[in-house]
Amino acid sequence: RKEVEQDPGPFNVPEGATVAFNCTYSNSASQSFFWYRQDCRKEPKLLMSVYSSGNEDGRFTAQLNRASQYISLLIRDSKLSDSATYLCVAWCFQGAAGNKLTFGGGTRVLVKP
């Protein structure tokens, strides 16, 4: 089983609609979580951190459920420019071994007119 798993999609979303997807993680020692956005053939860029109490950044809402070991991302009022692959990342500090950041396989979102 992969340490961080995501539904690869694609999620086909009508413009203006809401879409949500999850990411599950198996390492209960993971301390922090992030959502990155990756456009085709480009490097990933940080979309938002995920806080324990949940957090919102404009049209984007992230949630963390430690009991069930998943994080979620919800996009409201989808724009065509939201079409991308969304990668979730779990971070674990391993002492002398340093920081381990594990990426999920990504969820592809296609927003259509």
- The answer to whether 5 and 22 have CB atoms below 8 angstroms apart is no
Q: CB 25 → another protein: shortest distance, Å?
A: 13
Q: Which is nearer to another protein, 53 or 113 (CB)?
A: 53
Pairing, β 84-93 against β 99-103: antiparallel
Considering beta carbons, is residue 42 or 112 the nearer one to another protein? 42
Distance in angstroms (rounded) separating the CA atoms of residues 107 and 29: 23
Residue for token digits 């609609």? 17
CB of 81 to another protein, least distance (A): 20
Q: Which is nearer to another protein, 13 or 104 (CB)?
A: 104
Sequence-ordered strand ranges (E) for the chain: 4-6, 11-14, 19-25, 32-38, 45-50, 55-57, 60-65, 70-75, 84-93, 99-103, 107-112
d(C-alpha 65, C-alpha 54), whole Å = 9
Q: How far is the CB of 37 from another protein (least distance, A)?
A: 12
Task: For the CB of residue 100, give the shortest distance to another protein in the complex, in Å.
Answer: 8
Question: Which CB, 73 or 89, lies closer to another protein?
Answer: 89
Interacting residues toward another protein by CB under 8 A:
4, 6, 8, 31-32, 34, 36, 41-46, 49, 87, 89, 91, 93, 97-106
